[in-house]
Structure 1
């Protein structure tokens, strides 16, 4: 454990990646409660939504309102997903702390998801950087390279192509880069090998790992990424999420399960797990009928958890 980060950040993505792929359109007031209570439970990075046309994703039509609320919460780092320059301008206008530009290493998925080739998206990153700088904005740009371990549409994605697109995003002006296992194809060995190479290339500009639990591998893959020196991960309460344009891309890593694993190992997250589980319970009620995931909510925290957490902290 000596080589693992002492502290790990969990970026809650349920309000975007989670809600975008389910049928339920959650009322804005419940989303705002989710946002405020996650913050109160110690979550300090939250992806609040996406600036896409409401006709395409009505689940995320109120992103501007959620971003405005997030900006009032002390110490909260608020991010949004932006698929193009138009969305980026809205993120800049809303003073988002960070905007994520999704870039798929799978050409087939890129065309299905964004109607652009991966290199078209790299060119869009350059335009977004120019607009950000011209506006004098401090909003950071993250190039999020998805389908990094394969794709249900294309099949195999070459590691060299993933790393090429990651470097191209940085060269185009991204401040940060991240890698995502969009369809849950990854395994711990592949994660460790790819993430070690990615960290060597990007250094401290490597920002985040994003793992889907489609085949039950998300937490094992997080562990492998920790071994590679990564200390920030996306996760969604109740494990909801997926990509509408990637068949079989079900389920993010569960925030509550991930926080429990990290705290149990002595990697501090700053998250109040009982408070998070209470919020998860309410989200389950709000999303009645939707498929939810995770194990901690069923088993509960072990009686030894607090003793172990205190011992690890010492």
Structure 2
């Protein structure tokens, strides 16, 4: 066995925010809280619990304050909030979020479409949030995401030098955590290994997160490529919830239980109770009103299979 595979892989669960934000049917606040509490009970230590954007922009997450104030905070669990600006950051701090996540695209075109502003304006806003957190004397940490880091639906390939430069800029601004996001599932394993290795020259593995989508079926392959390159933290969504508005009908985030199952089969520690996680995932269709893309919750673990009869073995 590759001894590197004994290094723990940390899962950051994003279903309560990234997964639920595109759902058409309203998910009740108490159900969001129950989902988050259920995830922490499975051993998930980082949970993106909500968003503090305008209710008009993302009505599905308009109850962020109530969610953060209602969750049963697990010991050692970090609860992350997505914030778009100072106003959102103020609300997140008031709700006692442990970490604030900011997002800017490497693609200027995508940033204007998604954030309604230039990259320059986004960076200026990030600076305002950094100063707010410093003035508040808050213990909350900061993370900034480089969206479309592996490709843009408008611009195609993204210059890797630009991605590395943005990550460096974030760190220079005082933002400790960095996320590289494959926003529309355009990455491939060789590209991932190359870019992750470059970013790790500037960012410690403990501060780097990878966010992959399974839009073209390469999500878990990209996880392994990044893990082999030294990355140790990955976003994933229970059941594979989520998607991208620029890839209609495409599957969304990599699936948490599928990722945890792969790690268990390979001997990579995660600290996750996979059996509990699968049981929780199986409640999702009734919660969101439709089937979800995850596979392991449908098929079960290898060890759940009945013993194969002798006559089958002989075939």
How far off is 1:242 after superposition? 2.4
Aligned to 1:271: 272
1:213 partner SS? coil
Q: Confirm or deny: 8 A CA contact 1:183 1:250 kept in the other structure.
A: no
Please identify the structure whose Cα radius of gyration is greater.
2
Aligned to 1:18: 19
Distance 1:143 1:32 in 2: 25
Distance 2:163 2:232 in 1: 20
Aligned to 1:223: 224
Structure 1 residues not aligned, in runs of 5+: 306-314
Aligned to 2:92: 91
Aligned to 2:162: 161
How far off is 1:205 after superposition? 5.8
Aligned to 2:151: 150
Structure 2 residues not aligned, in runs of 5+: 306-315
Q: Confirm or deny: 8 A CA contact 1:46 1:78 kept in the other structure.
A: yes
1:200 partner SS? coil
Cα distance, 1:140–1:71 mapped onto 2, change above 3 Å:
farther
Deviates more, 1:116-125 or 1:26-35: 116-125
How far off is 1:4 after superposition? 3.5
Distance 1:71 1:139 in 2: 18
How far off is 1:304 after superposition? 7.5
2:11 partner SS? strand
How far off is 1:77 after superposition? 0.6
Aligned to 1:124: 125
Q: Confirm or deny: 8 A CA contact 2:193 2:225 kept in the other structure.
A: yes
Q: CA RMSD in A?
A: 1.6
How far off is 1:61 after superposition? 0.9
Aligned to 2:40: 39
Deviates more, 1:93-102 or 1:296-305: 296-305
Q: Confirm or deny: 8 A CA contact 2:37 2:72 kept in the other structure.
A: no
Q: Confirm or deny: 8 A CA contact 1:103 1:145 kept in the other structure.
A: yes
How far off is 1:182 after superposition? 0.4
Cα distance, 1:71–1:300 mapped onto 2, change above 3 Å:
closer
Q: Confirm or deny: 8 A CA contact 1:70 1:78 kept in the other structure.
A: no
How far off is 1:70 after superposition? 3.8
Q: Confirm or deny: 8 A CA contact 1:5 1:229 kept in the other structure.
A: no
Aligned to 1:237: 238
Deviations 1:103-126 (A, max 9, x none): 100111100111122222222221
- Runs of 4+ deviating beyond 4 Å: none
Q: Normalising to structure 1: TM-score of the pair?
A: 0.92
Equivalences, count: 303
Q: Confirm or deny: 8 A CA contact 2:6 2:267 kept in the other structure.
A: no
Give matches, 1:1-314, under 5 Å: 1-4=2-5, 6-70=7-71, 72-204=73-205, 206-244=207-245, 246-248=246-248, 250-289=251-290, 292-303=292-303
Distance 1:301 1:201 in 2: 38
How far off is 1:16 after superposition? 0.5
Distance 2:203 2:123 in 1: 16
How far off is 1:90 after superposition? 1.2
Q: Confirm or deny: 8 A CA contact 2:205 2:232 kept in the other structure.
A: no
Distance 2:10 2:29 in 1: 26
2:217 partner SS? coil
1:208 partner SS? strand
2:211 partner SS? strand
Q: Normalising to structure 2: TM-score of the pair?
A: 0.92
Distance 2:297 2:304 in 1: 16
